[in-house]
Amino acid sequence: MIEDLLFKRYKTLYVREQIRQEYDGLRSRLEILKTQIASEKDKPTLSPDEFKRLEDDEVRLTQETERKVSQMKGLDIEINGAKPSAENPEGHQGLNETMEALRELTQVTKNYIREL
């Protein structure tokens, strides 16, 4: 059981890392786009349609980065758990806490068997 949870944690961390790399790429593209929009506002060289496309791309990239952040937060909660809050009054036990509880249970069981 613990090995299954270790594997699940490994895979979850792997997926989170992939999302983080995509997020970093989106952030860098967004910063380049913001710089390009700022320079276009100072010295317009593009047609109004092309400038509108740049602004639309900025909105799209901003939404994608927000979605990636929310995905990473969800995976972090799955791994580390969450304390009780207004959104989640019961909290959430993460994989790390579950594995620790199983290890403690294993140790208690071993001690009990030794005493018999």
**Residue 28, class by beta-carbon neighbours within 10 Å (0-12 exposed, 13-18 middle, 19+ buried)?**
exposed
Cα angle value 61/64/66 (rounded, 5°) = 110
Q: State pLDDT tens for residues 71-92.
A: 999 999 999 988 887 777 788 8
Gyration radius (Cα) of the chain, Å: 23
Give CA–CA dist 45/57, Å, rounded. 18
Tell me what the pLDDT averaged over the chain comes to: 92
pTM (two decimals): 0.81
Residue 83 confidence (pLDDT): 82
Cα–Cα distances in Å, from 3 out to 8, 56, 103? Answer: 9, 46, 11
**pLDDT confidence of 48, banded at 50, 70, 90?**
confident
| Mean pLDDT along residues 56-84 | 93
The two three-digit tokens of residue 106, written as one number: 């294993």
The two three-digit tokens of residue 112, written as one number: 């009990």
Give CA–CA dist 102/14, Å, rounded. 23
Residue 93 confidence (pLDDT): 86
Give CA–CA dist 80/96, Å, rounded. 6
Q: State pLDDT tens for residues 23-38.
A: 999 999 999 999 999 9
Give the ranges where the chain is alpha helix by DSSP (H): 2-42, 48-80, 95-115
